[in-house]
Amino acid sequence: MRNFIALEEKGSVREFIANDLNNAGLRIDTNKYRNIIINQPSPHITNNSKQQHQHGSRVFNVPLHQMDTISVKVDNIDLTVPIFLRWCFDCIRRSIKHEGLFRKSGGSQRVKELMARIEDGPLTPSLSPSNTVFDVCSLFKEFLRRLTYPLITYPLQDLLLDCFSMRSLTSDKKVDIYLNILLLLPDEHLHALIYILRFLHEITLNERDNKMNAKNLAICVGPGIMRTVVEGKASIMTEQCATSVSDIVETLIINATKIGYVAESVYERSQMLLEMRQKEAVPNADESFAMENGIENGINTGKINDPANAKKRRSGSVKEFLVHMTNRLRRRSGSNNDSRDQTNAFLDQSGKLSSSHTREHRYHYQQNSISGHCLSSSSSSTTTTKRKSSDDPNGGNSKRG
C-alpha cells in the first residue's frame, strides 16, 4: 500500500479510484467528476451559523479550511488538523480508561462555558477543577454537529450508503471500497477524519476499562461524522439510515489504521497516466510552434503545416504510447488473469482519459480552493498555520431524501 497523504500529485490517483468505483457498480458521472470530489455546502446552514462565523467564531460553525491548524504525525502519516482537535484528544487521552467515553454526557452548562472560553480566548484552554472528561467528549460531539460542512461530505456519504446497501459485495470488498471513497474527500476533511478515526480506534484498545468498543462509539459519534439529513429536516435521520451510518462508521473505526493508503496497483496506473500525458505534451508543444510558424516537421521539409496532419500525429503518438504501456503491464502480469483484466481496464480508462484530457476534463487544483487537494503535508509535529481563505468554491448542494 502507498501513503496517499504523502503523494504530491493526487489527481490522477483519484481519477482511477473513481473509475474503479464505477466498475464496482457505484455510479459516478465522470462529466461531473469535480462535483463529486469537491466539498458540497450544507443545504441547512442556519442564519445563526452564518452570523457567528461573521462575528469571528474560530472553531464552531466554521468550515475546516478556515480553522487554525497544527501538523501532527500519526503512524508515519503527516496530517494537518485543527488545533482544537488535538487539544480535545490530549484531554481525553489522559482519562482514556474512564467508563462511558462519548456515551455519558457532560454538564450542559460546563460545556457552554468551555465553548465560550475557546471562542474568546486560547484554543487550548486549561480545564477547571469542575470540568470532567465527559465535558470534553460532549464538546467534541458539538464540534462535529456545528461544522459548516459535514466531516464526510454529502456526495461521499451517498457513495458509502450505496455501497453499504449492495448485497452482491462481500464484507472485505465493501471495506476496500469504503477506504477508496474516503480518498476522494477534500484534504482538510480527509486529514481530520483520519485523525479522529485513529483516536477512536485507540479508545477501543482500552475497551476492557472504558467499555467502549467500535460499535458503541459508532452509535455515539457516527451521526456527527456522517451528518445525513432527511429532506427539509436538518440533523434528523430515519431509523434505517441511522443504522446504516452506525454500521459504516463502526467499520471505519475498526479499519482506521488502513485509511489514507492507496493500493499499489492504482498508484502504478496513475503514474503510467502521468507518463502518457507528459509524453503527449512534448510533441504537442513542438506542433504548436510549427503551426504558428507555418512549418511542418522542421524547416527542411518545405511543407506548409496542415492541422489535420498534426492531429494524426498526435493520435499516432498516443496509440504508440498505449501499446508501450500495455506491453509493460503484460510483462509484469505474466499469467495472472487479474493483472490482465487490470491491463485491459487500464487501456479502456487511458483512452477515455486521454480523450477527455484534450477537452480539459481533468479537475484542476487552485490554491484558493476549499477542496484542499493542493494542501501539502508537513513533516513538522509542532508547526501551526492560519487558514485565511473565506472563498466558497463548493458547487451545488446534495441532500439525502
Phi, psi at 80, each rounded to 5°: -115, 115
Residue 172 corresponds to which cell in the numbers above? Answer: 472485505
Residue with the larger pLDDT of the pair 104 and 399 = 104
What would the mean pLDDT of 168-189 be, rounded to a whole number? Answer: 95
Strand partners, 72: 79
| Cα distances (Å, whole numbers) of residue 111 to 88, 134, 146, 219, 227 | 13, 9, 14, 21, 21
| Cα distances (Å, whole numbers) of residue 237 to 141, 152, 159 | 16, 15, 17
| Cα distances (Å, whole numbers) of residue 7 to 11, 71, 349 | 10, 16, 21
End-to-end CA distance of the chain, in Å? 36
Q: Model pTM? A: 0.70
What would the mean pLDDT of 183-209 be, rounded to a whole number? Answer: 97
Q: Read off the pLDDT of residues 2-61 as tens digits, 9 standing for 90 and up.
A: 999 999 889 889 989 998 999 999 987 655 445 444 434 333 333 333 334 444 568 999
Give Dmax (Cα) for the chain: 88
Question: What does the pLDDT read at residue 330?
Answer: 52
Question: What does the pLDDT read at residue 241?
Answer: 84
Question: What does the pLDDT read at residue 128?
Answer: 85
3 state SS of 213: coil
Say how far apart CA 73 and CA 86 lie, in whole Å.
Answer: 11
Cβ neighbours around 167 below 10 Å, total: 4
Question: What does the pLDDT read at residue 257?
Answer: 96
Domain boundaries, the chain: 2-262+374-386, 268-357
Residue 347 has pLDDT above 60, yes or no: no
Residue 219 has pLDDT above 70, yes or no: yes
Nearest residue to 373 (alpha-carbon basis) of 119, 3, 5: 5
Q: Read off the pLDDT of residues 269-287 as tens digits, 9 standing for 90 and up.
A: 888 888 888 887 766 555 5
Q: How confident is the model at residue 84 (pLDDT cuts 50, 70, 90)?
A: very high
Average pLDDT of every residue of the chain: 74
Q: Read off the pLDDT of residues 309-345 as tens digits, 9 standing for 90 and up.
A: 544 444 444 445 455 555 555 555 554 555 445 445 5
Question: What does the pLDDT read at residue 112?
Answer: 94
Residue with the larger pLDDT of the pair 203 and 39 = 203
What would the mean pLDDT of 131-154 be, rounded to a whole number? Answer: 95
Residue 296 has pLDDT above 70, yes or no: no
Question: What does the pLDDT read at residue 328?
Answer: 59
Question: What does the pLDDT read at residue 303?
Answer: 43
What would the mean pLDDT of 149-177 be, rounded to a whole number? Answer: 94
Question: What does the pLDDT read at residue 76?
Answer: 86
Say how far apart CA 154 and CA 152 lie, in whole Å.
Answer: 7
3 state SS of 400: coil
CATH topology of domain 2-262+374-386: Phosphatidylinositol 3-kinase; Chain A (1.10.555)
